[in-house]
Amino acid sequence: MDDKTIMENILLTTKGVCDLYMHGAIESSTENVNTAFKSALTDALCMQDNIYKQMSQKGWYTTENVPQSKIDQVKQKFASAN
């Protein structure tokens, strides 16, 4: 397995962990449990951001700019749904 694949797997796993912690915070029944999940979520989000930045610097996670016309089209679609 190459480094890019390993980093992709780590990023996907970290995103899954963020999802679990978020749901834990939403569903927690006590303040202590809620605080623990929120703290873990914050840490996991920082980790996810660091992984993304490393991948982006190596060109392994690229993004593209969306034309303003596409953004306006989506805005209009959802504005008319109200």
Tell me the per-residue pLDDT of 23-54, one tens digit each, with 9 for 90 and over: 999 999 999 999 999 999 999 999 999 999 99
Percent of the chain with pLDDT over 70: 99
What tokens were used for 25? 């915070």
- pLDDT score of 82: 65
Instruction: Give the per-residue pLDDT at 50.
Output: 97
Q: Do the Cβ atoms of 44 and 18 come closer than 8 Å?
A: yes
Amino acid 63: pLDDT: 87
Are the C-beta atoms of 18 and 48 separated by less than 8 Å?
Answer: yes
Sketch the domain layout of the chain as residue ranges: 3-79
Confidence of residue 81 (pLDDT cuts 50, 70, 90): confident
